[in-house]
Structure 1
Amino acid sequence: MTSTRPRFRFAPSPTGSFHVGGARTALHNWALARRSGGTFVLRIEDTDEARNRPEWTQGIIDALAWIGISADDAHFEGPHFQSENADAHVAAAHRLFESGAAYYCDLTGQEVQDRAKELGLTGYDGYSRDRGLEAAPGRVLRFRVPDGTTVVSDGVRGDVSFENETIEDFVLLRGNGTPMFLLANVVDDIKMEITDVVRAEEHLPNTPKQQMLWEALGATPPRWAHVPVLVNEQRKKLSKRRDKVALESYRDEGILPGAMVNYLMTLGWTPPGAEAAGSEIFTWAEMEADFDLADVTLSPAFFDVRKLVAFNKQYIKNLPLDEFLAAVDAELPVDWDRRRFASIAPHIMERLERLGDAPGLVDFLFLGDGVDPELDHDAWAKASAPDWAAPLLDDVIEAYSALGDGEWTHETLKAAMETAMGPYEVKLGKAQALPRVAVTGRAVGPPLFEAMETLGQIETIRRMRSAVTRLGESSAPD
């Protein structure tokens, strides 16, 4: 039965980690399928047995789910597996031979190269087109490319013309009878009633061949669209060998799925309301409603990790506290007191670029009573250098020690320090430098008074007194 609704397909090969470029293509298909009331078909192209592993297939499914493309959604279909259709691929090849659209060739690869060199060509010269060969071991089946021009109507690039004389008669079946990718891809698309093929521009050169196969098999070609590839800072195509491209690695270091989705969708496409809003932060519902292939730029899109991190920082900042706590929990050591972390969490959300940064920002709160933090020697030396630093620390300790039950709040702690620093005529930022290093071990971190409130009166004062001892022993700690 012919489908009456659009059917988009995403067809990755399970050959390793999930590429961010593939994730962007999947999101494009997902947005278009959902908005049109159509279907997103996941097909795993697993015919290369030497490179496929079950865990990589599951990795694709898990990665898609992480960015919101879920098998639980009514618009989702699959996964289908290309290997399940091997018989259909071969049967289609035989139909093409019987109709005259394909023929057998007994030239070896070396013989093809030798003839091309002799004739001054760059590839196969059509030598076996009219030799009338039948199937036999070692013979490949080639498609008979027709004369004329093939026009690919592309949703991003408009009409793209290919002169057929520049396309050699390509192989459909190898000498051992197994199908080539191009044939398998087309047969699967026809069988699954795919109406729209949205993919990266690197596949554009294959499109006229695939369109010819669709037509030769008596089917109407899909609507094509080829989006620009992602490039690195050197404007080279992102490569697994050279660049950080695994979606899973960004997930594991604490990039939120919403931030990743927002960033990927706006690579090469700008939502209509972005300029008026003065922001590139959009909900999935907004992007799904507005995404249009006609608005996708033709230029390669720069995958800027720094910008992704900026997106992520904004997303972390905007999370409701309960959602933040749930998202960051896996990043925290198992023995940390979650209630203590929850008390400091609202004060660090705006400072985090990645969820994975959270433990390093507040680890001084979880050392245990009586344990001093590891000191940043440069920060200690700088904070303790002024003549007034040590006397002021003594005064702060005295002020904090005088606070009674119920008074250990960040507001009271700030006010007490402001009173203590009055005679020294220094500003709050400088006054809290040495207490901060004494309590946290470093010069930067979460708001000091909120951190001390979380740490508690006894341990805060103990650490400050330990710092006084250090100051008495040496100008800098060992």
Structure 2
Amino acid sequence: MALFDKAWARRTGGQFVLRIEDTDRNRLVEGSEQQIYDTLAWLGLDADESPLVGGPYAPYTQSERLDTYRPFVDRLIESGHAYRCWCSQERLAQLRAERAAARSPETGYDRLCLGMTEQERAELPGFTPTPVVRMLVPDDVELTFDDLIRGQMHAPHPDDQVILKADGFPTYHLAVVVDDHLMGIDTVVRGEEWISSTPKHLLLYHWLGWQAPRFAHMPLLRNTDKSKISKRKNPAARLLWFREQGYLPEALRNFLQLLAYPPVAEGQEVESFESFVERFDWANISTGGPVFDVTKLDWLNRTYIRSLSVDDLADRIIDHARGAGQLDGVDEAGLERIRAGVPLIQERLTLLSEAVPKLRYLLVGDDELEFDADSVSKLKEDAPQVQAAAIEALEGLDEFGADAVQAALRASLCEGMGIKPKFAFAPVRVAVTGSRVSPPLFESMEILGKPSTLARMRRFAEVLAAR
């Protein structure tokens, strides 16, 4: 929602407003508000007006605006468009149970309290002294409205919606209408689950004599099995999970855009936010229930990672690794080795979180490097002799660059011993990196330097001798 909200605001020269709608006190989750701020900031979708930055219509948190709503509730009651309801929760639960047992098509409130005084209602069962306030929805309420994305829509007939709860807090339905009007909102973007509520909101605008905004109801994202994404069951519903995994914000933003909007051109799915804004049109949004498939996101993330400069990627890797605790105990020299190793792994990365594990061999002490048992077991029987010849070849090098190292080893092992490169370099790779599979070998040896490389190779020679 925020992505498309902001695109439309930028496209039209408007303001992107973030309002915290926290009137349902039973559903508040500690830390969730900060998570919203952090997520939007990380994705580059900061609001123009919000509780954090303020704005001309502050406060932007609904729980701080309670005095704003009450006069409009009183006005609706006085005009006969709303009424107080003293029915207890037990009475309402009993009503629903009786209707279910009778298979009644009726689902809304039965208007028992309509037209009654508090004294009159108190004489009947199921009374509570703290009433709610309900809309009096007319039978002929208009159910058709225009949607920016979907065209003409027809919603089901609403019931007498509660607009003020017993605790004095407005429900979403009243608060959002009042705030959208007072804050000058002219375009409301929300999920398709709110389509059925739109006639209620349009009624409130009409009763209060206000111009209604335009509505755009976005399609809901689905899991790969087409089920609705659950915030409780799917970690991906919490967007900061993607930051923790090592996705780039621009890749995730691009991915979210593609879920409901066509690519800039056939086969051209990578697009900047600025380009997206320039061609944004509500009519182009797909309503087909987009599937949230991280396979496409992984591809996008790899593409974005490869497009970064080495220095930018190194900065992002280190920043992510610090936040993830991957660099505990790593000194400045270790950080420099990471920076030097980034070009070796840039083409192999899908996530930022993979970088430090791939370069871990550059960060451990020469006497602490662990040799992968499976890699050791798969070496040829002549591995000790190959290792000894490799050590001898490297000891005589004055210049220890990748090209010089490769030339020396090829001359000694491939030409001198007649061994194919695949087998000649395998013992050296395990000695230097701990595994038969690693980033480019000769460049790794250059980063480690001659003393460290030879120390590892001599230590591994002892391991091979003891096999």
TM-score class, shorter-chain normalisation, is 0.7 to 0.9
- Residue 442 of structure 1: which of 409, 413, 435 is its match? 435
Change (3 A) 1:217 1:431: farther
Counterpart code for 1:409: G
Distance in 1 between residues matched to 2:273 and 2:427, nearest whole Å: 46
Distance in 1 between residues matched to 2:205 and 2:18, nearest whole Å: 20
Counterpart code for 1:80: Y
Does structure 2 retain, via aligned residues, the 8 Å contact 1:103–1:133?
no
Q: Please state how far the C-alpha of 1:454 moved relative to its aligned partner.
A: 0.3
Counterpart code for 1:318: S
Identical pairs, percent: 36
* Bigger mean CA deviation after superposition, 205-214 or 446-455: 205-214
- Residue 231 of structure 1: which of 215, 222, 234 is its match? 222
Does structure 2 retain, via aligned residues, the 8 Å contact 1:392–1:421?
no
Structure 1 position 249 matched with structure 2 position 261: no
Structure 1 position 123 matched with structure 2 position 107: yes
Q: Please state how far the C-alpha of 1:418 moved relative to its aligned partner.
A: 2.3
Structure 1 unpaired stretches of 5+: 1-24
Q: Please state how far the C-alpha of 1:195 moved relative to its aligned partner.
A: 0.6
Change (3 A) 1:169 1:49: closer
* Bigger mean CA deviation after superposition, 120-129 or 88-97: 120-129
**How do residues 136-285 of structure 1 correspond to structure 2 at under 5 angstroms?**
137-148=129-140, 149-164=142-157, 167-244=158-235, 245-273=237-265, 275=266, 278-285=267-274
Secondary structure, aligned partner of 1:58? helix
Counterpart code for 2:463: R
Q: Which residue in 2 is equivalent to 1:464?
A: 457
Q: Which residue in 2 is equivalent to 1:318?
A: 307
Counterpart code for 2:72: A
Does structure 2 retain, via aligned residues, the 8 Å contact 1:85–1:188?
no
Q: Please state how far the C-alpha of 1:424 moved relative to its aligned partner.
A: 5.0
Structure 1 position 293 matched with structure 2 position 282: yes
* Bigger mean CA deviation after superposition, 449-458 or 94-103: 94-103
Change (3 A) 1:288 1:234: same
Secondary structure, aligned partner of 2:451? helix
Distance in 1 between residues matched to 2:54 and 2:12, nearest whole Å: 15
State the Cα deviation string for residues 150-186 of structure 1 (Å, max 9, x = none): 212112221111253xx21111222454322211121
Secondary structure, aligned partner of 1:139? strand
Q: Please state how far the C-alpha of 1:111 moved relative to its aligned partner.
A: 3.2
TM (norm. structure 2) is: 0.87
Q: Please state how far the C-alpha of 1:403 moved relative to its aligned partner.
A: 1.0
Q: Which residue in 1 is equivalent to 2:80?
A: 100
Counterpart code for 2:352: L
Structure 1 position 367 matched with structure 2 position 364: yes
Distance in 2 between residues matched to 1:293 and 1:431, nearest whole Å: 61
Secondary structure, aligned partner of 1:450? helix
Secondary structure, aligned partner of 2:259? coil
RMSD across aligned C-alpha pairs, in angstroms?
2.5
Between the two proteins, the alignment pairs up a number of residues equal to: 439
